[in-house]
A and B are shown apart, each in its own frame.
Chain A
Amino acid sequence: MRVDFTSVQLVDVSRHFGRRRALSHVTLAAASGDILGLLGPNGAGKSTLITILATLSTPTTGEVRYGGQPAARLGPALRIRIGLLAHELHLYPELSARQNLAFFAQLYGLDPRSTVDAALESAGLADRADDAVSGFSRGMRQRLALERALLHHPRLVLFDEPFTGLDDRAVGIVSDRLRALAAGGAIVVLATHDLDLADGLVTRVALVRSGRLVSDEPASTGLRARYRALIGAA
């Protein structure tokens, strides 16, 4: 079954871990072309939201709809339209860059011969393709992880703190890639607590605090002031 969608909606989503409420009644939507910034302090529930959107976790109550359909109805085929880059890079350090990309390409049913070289080129790692990832710098790993997450051209691209440990040049590369993805019709969701990086990059802002959505609005200038007013000191 081929699955595609142009919007994703969280409808009254709550997520509890025992007695702790990680998310509480969050209703949120994003459409193709959006770069939705999930902003909030540490522990606000951003990563839980990303995990739920990625289908790695299920809401305790409420549901997530991909193009109007709940995840359970779409089955495993939904996951071919989702890409995730988290703080942990989802790479095997013992394997080479090429082996990592080839493994994930095959896992997504892609032909590694036609995808891996292009991804290595895009990551700027063509000359280190056969080196073990354990020998790479954080920036190199992050670039490789980005390509791994995008190998299958996902519709919904989820980034959880993707700028951690990157230098300015690498941040610029990742930011440009995010803009290009959105321009190409992807739904980009970016969870970060770094307002400086989010400012000017995101097209919509969802502010989260203590598991609750406190604001969902188009991005405008003065993001820091808005954040300070709704969340507290930034």
Chain B
Amino acid sequence: MFVRTAWLVLRKDFAIEVKSLEVLTTTLFFAISCVLIFAFAFVKNGQAPEDAAAGILWIAIAFSGTLALGRTFERERYSETLRALLLAPAPRPALYVGKLLGMLALLAVAELLLVPLIAFLFQAALFSRPLLLAAILAGGTVGFSAVGTLFAAMLVRARSRDVLLPILLYPITIPVIIGGVRGTAALLASPVDEPGAIMWIGILAAFDVVFVTLSLWTFEPLMTE
């Protein structure tokens, strides 16, 4: 029942997104704009500051992810469909997992676009260790989305949710963002700092376990009014 419910919620969100393309287009547009602005500011004569690519990649992920989180739950607020989901006889944490998987899929698409774009604009060797980069991106994205999905669901009925979401989200996810930035910077070092990258992957994985567990544990009580 748990897996089936999560899958149904994910599939429903996908069906809505295919029809509206609202969240995907705004997220991608915002992420690309963010990278382009940084490129115009920092890249001089084809040279970018050292480690800038790592920071810009994670700023683009965090900012566009926040935008996507807000829009995804705005959809559940309109017509109060979140209440209908909560009223279903499924375990309520399964609804959270369905929403989280949707966010992860959305950010994965954004990252598929962002990584080559940043590698090209900042002349960054992001593809030198593709598996390690994938692990860092996955670890950081899961941690960020786990907390973000919980907060976005929690704030769905708050009047000032658009202001409160980043205020609550960024301080909590700072360790994940730092882990993502330092892990990516380790891959961009010359020579590549592989042990450093692996250490950050381990730290991100630990954060993910803590954040996902806490979110699953607190989702039901937080969503019951």
Contacts and interface: CB of A to CB of B under 8 A. Distances in A.
Contacts of B1: 109
B88 interface: yes
B90 A93 contact: no
B220 to A, nearest CB: 9
A168 B12 CA distance: 34
Contacts of B16: 92, 94-95
A54 B84 CA distance: 10
A82 B225 CA distance: 17
User: Could you say which interface size class chain A belongs to?
Assistant: 20 to 34
Given A77-B89, A93-B79, A107 B225 contact: no
B19 A107 contact: no
A149 to B, nearest CB: 9
A57 interface: yes
Interface string A57-89: 110000000000000000011111010101011
Contacts of A91: 79, 81
A79 B224 contact: no
Interface string B71-89: 0000100111101111111
B20 interface: yes
Contacts of A99: 15
A227 interface: no
A88 B19 contact: no
Interface in B194-215: none
Contacts of B145: none
A56 interface: yes
Contacts of B88: 79, 104, 107-108
Given A56-B224, A77-B89, A94-B20, A107 B5 contact: yes
Contact of A79 (B4, B8, B87): B87
A89 B79 CA distance: 6
B91 A76 contact: yes
Contact of B15 (A84, A93, A95): A95
A77 to B, nearest CB: 6
B99 interface: no
B81 A56 contact: no
A90 B85 CA distance: 9
Given A84-B84, A95-B12, 6 more contacts: A88-B83, A89-B80, A90-B83, A90-B84, A104-B84, A108-B88
